[in-house]
């Protein structure tokens, strides 16, 4: 999540998001995601979240396959 504003912002990810536990790559904070993942991102800051599980949502798997196929063609 990227916040380019001058104030902290609560950002939300809800597209191609696996439900379950996500962890902040820098702080190791754990966040539970359902239909969305919400996190406060500091001004001019970035937060990276990792999910250690399998992408089991059909739409997410399809999108990942398309992205990987494009990458292999280049």
Any idea what the CATH number is for the domain that residue 6 is in?
A: 2.60.40
Please check the confidence at residue 4 and state whether its pLDDT lies above 60.
yes
Number of domains making up the chain: 1
Scan for tokens 């754990």, then name that residue.
30
Q: How far apart are CA 59 and CA 24, in angstroms?
A: 24
Residue 74's pLDDT band, with cuts at 50, 70 and 90, is low
For residue range 11-60, list pLDDT tens digits in order.
Answer: 999 988 888 999 999 999 999 999 999 999 999 999 999 998 887 788 88
β-partners of residue 8 are none
Q: Which residues form the domain of 40?
A: 2-73
Burial class (CB in 10 A: 0-12, 13-18, 19+), 22: buried
**Is the pTM here over 0.85, yes or no?**
no
């Amino acid at each position: 999540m990227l916040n380019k504003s001058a104030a902290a912002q609560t950002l939300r990810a809800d597209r191609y998001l696996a439900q379950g536990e996500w962890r902040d790559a820098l702080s190791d904070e754990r966040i539970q995601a359902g239909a969305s993942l919400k996190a406060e991102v500091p001004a001019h800051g970035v937060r990276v979240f990792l999910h250690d599980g399998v992408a089991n949502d059909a739409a997410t798997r399809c999108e990942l396959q398309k992205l990987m196929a494009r990458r292999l063609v280049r």
